[in-house]
Structure 1
Amino acid sequence: VNWDRLTLAFRIPAFRWIWASSLAGAAGFQPFMIGQGWLLWELTASPFMVGLAPALGAASNLLLNPFWGLMSDRLDRRKLMIISQSVMGLAILALGILVVNDMVQVWHVLVLSVIQRMGMSLQRTAGKPFTFSVVGRKAFMNATAAHFLTSQGAGLVGPVSAGFIIKSFGTGYLFLILGFIILIGVLALFRVQSVPIKNRATKSFIQDFKEALKFVRNDTSLRAILWTVLVTESLGYSTWSMFPVVAVSLLGGDSVTLGLLGTFRGLGGVLGALSISSFGDIKLKGSILWGGAFLFGLALIAFSFSRDAYLSYALVSCIGIVAVIYDIQANTLLLSLCPEEMRGRIMAIYGIVMTGIGFGSLGMGAAAGWLGVNWAIFGGGSLVTTNALAHMHMAPVVNRQAQKD
């Protein structure tokens, strides 16, 4: 392992505080998704309802992401990060209070899920451009990998911890713990100085967002990357929402099985993030992007046929590795191939595309109820693989652009 490459972004003090905040956010978010899915399954026993919560969050993000992007290109991005993470923590805390007091209803879970997703969307839209401004172009892929290492590390420990906490104490106490962890992470952002935005957006909101859409429309590489993100996230990542159904219906398990699925996916994600970090500034970013998406789809297809818990744990580890490798390249390329003053809006467009996860979760839940969860996952993996193959011809173009920029 090349430690100089691995710790490149951590040499910047401000990034260390940003990373600490993201660690707290990831430690809260990963188990929350497990707990939310399990709570809805307990309340309704419906795969559709398990998928509905992320779908509603996606709908709110679709409406608000343009506004978040414009705010990110006009206002102090650090302050936006503080506000957004606070909203996330308070929403989860409120849900915990309702569950502990036996007051929770399905609509409470859905509404607070939407609020939590709104905060997360603003956090992503403002946070990534702010991190780019703090660490610079050369260290950004390393910083992105570090953030993914954080989220995947939390995914390694968080889900299995969530499973044991749910089994021992219930989902309410899980949510209370997670809400406090996220709010503690907000404190780290007060140690970071704001970075002024050069050429700050000054036109009307509509004109500024149209400008970003035109920029993407005229850039073939950005269009190809965003389309790949849409297909991969909506048809691939949406399978995470079906883990409660897989754990019970296919593997004959319980909340611990559910937690272990998430943990082994997190283990794969950690390995994927470490591998990218240790290579430094990779030149063939486009090739790795579409190659990773292709392997991601194949791994999902294999996972759909598994009925053995241990084999499923191994397969979700492979899924975690290739999914994170693909995702790091997508994030790095999107922000590297656009000007600084437009990064908030590009992240907003990326966020709109990412709502495909929520809508995909809704579709995955409907398909699972109709065809069975195994065939729903098989179909998603097949389409992810097909799309990656269809865009593989763009890899050399993106490789050259990324090296040039």
Structure 2
Amino acid sequence: MRLDGIPLWDGTEFRGPVDLTWEPDRITGIDAAPAGHADLCVLPGLVDTHVHLVGYAGDGEPPDFATWPLTTTRDEQVLHGVAHAQKAMRHGVTTLRDLAGDEAQVALRRVFDAGVLPGPRILVHGVVGMTAGHNDLFVPPAVPSPLRKPVADGPDECRKLVRTWARAGMDGIKLTTSGGVLSMGDKNAWRNYTRDEIRAVIDEAHALGMPVAAHAHSEEGIRVAVEEGVDSIEHGTLLSRDLAETLAARGTPVAPTLLINEAIAEGRVPVTPQAKAKAAELVATRDVLLAQAAALGVRFVLGTDANGHHVQFGDQLAEVVRMTRILGMDAESALRAATSDAADALGMPVGRIKEGLGADLIVLRGRPWENIEDLAAENIVAVVSRGRVVAGRLP
């Protein structure tokens, strides 16, 4: 397949008009050419490093976030996950990392990879969290196993859960080092895990070749995760100056999940009063800290926390725009954060339009590297995922 004379932004910079050719699933040629589509451009598919595929995907106001997983079968939930992944793909988000997955999301990854169903590239991280920790408090206390998510307490149990997730086919581990917003009866500042437990999780995961993403809102939660050597920070809301300097020096990616915390804090989505209050407390001081971190060179990447209840799949485009407003990034830096930088953070051979890499492309009206507002769903002309047109039509 090919596009002739189309202006190319390749994931790092503008290259001018090119003739672009690919065959599933590999870009085969990029050659300078006379301009043929002055009002259009092509850029790499976006990469969202932080999503939760299993959530309500139907129309209208979503059902209660806490009870929906307890009142639907796992089979039904998986189909909602398929719908979310395909919706993201049609909006140009062609790579997704699920950060609270289990065997269901691994099954989605395998089905999409095998071409059984059209779908984006998926990575899956299993969560290692403690009893009464952030990940354990999404389910009401009276609900017994097996509906509760697995927990691990003590270094040995933590190692065992990492190994269990490795056996299940996970790509990585998510570790909780602070409390959270949507978890019930939780506080953002609560410690999650001792250093010995955190060290055991990271050591075991790295021994098995699995990167570790750390959920951390509080300064102390970020600090222990950074000092013990995690591979990415999720949220990073109360990021202090000294920690920002350390992260910038190491090049550790941070996914700031801006829209979801704003929506919860402002009550624009159905949440409990407690969750709204926790988010409002975080957002009140977040913007100055994250803008400071960006100015210090922290490597921010696209990560939305999309789940279908509070942030929709397809809202990734708005999140990139929001990154320019809150973090002070220019349009081109924000696009890199959503393409090449995000792909590099995940170790995925995408995020750039380059010979030999995967053929994930967005054909768009406008010039989003100059005007980030052009990155909008209504401007999408076509989406190519794994070399095949999955939305719109090629010009």
TM-score interval w.r.t. the shorter chain? Answer: under 0.3
Query: Greater share of strand residues, 1 or 2?
Result: 2
Query: Greater share of helix residues, 1 or 2?
Result: 1
**Normalising by the residue count of structure 1, what TM-score does the alignment of the two structures yield?**
0.26
Structure with greater contact order relative to length (CA < 8 Å, sep ≥ 6): 1
